[in-house]
Amino acid sequence: MSPKEGGALARKRYSSKQTASSPTSAKQEEEMKNHQNLIRNISSADNIKNKRKKKKKQNKAKPKRYGLMSYWELPEYMKDNEFILNYYRADWPLAEAFFSVFRWHNETLNVWTHFIGFVLFLGLTMANLLEVPQVADLLAFFSRSTPISAVTNVSHDFISGMTTNLTDLKQMTSQDMEFASSVASPEMGVTYWPFYVFLAGSMFCLLSSTICHLFSCHSHPLNLMLLRIDYAGITTMIITSFFPPIYYIFQCDSRWQFIYLGGITVMGIFTIVTLLSPKLSSSEFRTFRALLFASMGLFGIIPAIHASVVNWGNPKRNLTLMFEAAMAFFYLTGTGFYVTRIPERWRPGWFDLAGHSHQIFHVLVVLGALAHYGAILVMLDWRNSFGCDSN
Question: How far is C-alpha 150 from the chain's CA centre?
Answer: 38
Q: Which residues pair with 88 in a beta bridge?
A: 69
248: number of Cβ within 10 Å: 22
User: What distance in Å separates the CA atoms of residue 65 and residue 59, rounded to the nearest whole number?
Assistant: 11
Q: Identify which of 273, 118, 125 has the alpha carbon closest to the alpha carbon of residue 205.
A: 118
Contact 281, 224 (CB under 8 A): yes
Contact 369, 117 (CB under 8 A): yes
Angle subtended at Cα 334 by Cα 330 and Cα 337, rounded to the nearest 5 degrees: 145
User: What distance in Å separates the CA atoms of residue 77 and residue 220, rounded to the nearest whole number?
Assistant: 6
Helix, strand or coil, per DSSP, at residue 217: coil
Q: Identify which of 150, 368, 383 has the alpha carbon closest to the alpha carbon of residue 248.
A: 383
Concatenate the DSSP letters of all residues of 241-308 into one string: HHHHHHHHHTTT-HHHHHHHHHHHHHHHHHHHHHHTSTGGGSGGGHHHHHHHHHHHHHTTHHHHHHHH
Does the annotation flag 213 for ligand binding? yes
Does the annotation flag 358 for ligand binding? yes
User: What distance in Å separates the CA atoms of residue 311 and residue 248, rounded to the nearest whole number?
Assistant: 12
Query: What single letter denotes the amino acid at residue 391?
Result: N
Bond into 343 cis (ω within 30)? yes
For the annotated binding site for Zn(2+), the residues are 213, 358, 362
Q: Tell me the binding residues.
A: 213, 358, 362
